[in-house]
Amino acid sequence: MFKFFKQDKFIFGFIMGLIAPVGGFVIYKYTKLSAFTFKETFQYLLVEPGHNLLTVAISLSLMANAVLFTVYINSRIDKTAKGIFIATLIYGLTALSLKTFG
């Protein structure tokens, strides 16, 4: 199983970089918004004026990518780390866009 995670492929890292923040968001939801269901949480995050809580949730979710990126860089699995980095940039630009234009 661990051999699976030692792949050095850009697309593998990109997919992991897209999925890992979902896990981070689930942790954030259960620690800060445990009174709400997932549907209520998404509805609130999308309609909240200024999207402040949404950008906080995205930013904290990206901590999962920071951990993954650090592990892969330190292991010198560079193509996978690049994929994680690009996915992180996409999430980060999304949060920045919501904060700036939302």
pLDDT digits (tens, 9 = 90+) for 72-90: 999 999 999 999 999 999 9
Is the residue at 2 inside a domain? no
Is the residue at 1 inside a domain? no
Is the residue at 42 inside a domain? yes
Give the range among 31-35, 48-52, 84-88 with minimum mean pLDDT: 48-52
The SS3 of residue 70 is helix
Is the residue at 87 inside a domain? yes
User: Which pairs with CB-CB distance under 8 Å and at least 24 residues apart come from 2-9?
Assistant: 6/75, 6/77, 7/77, 7/80, 8/77, 8/78, 8/79, 8/80, 9/79, 9/80, 9/83
pTM: 0.84
Judged against a pLDDT cut of 80, whether residue 54 lies above it is answered with yes
Determine the structural domain holding residue 55 and report its residue range: 9-101
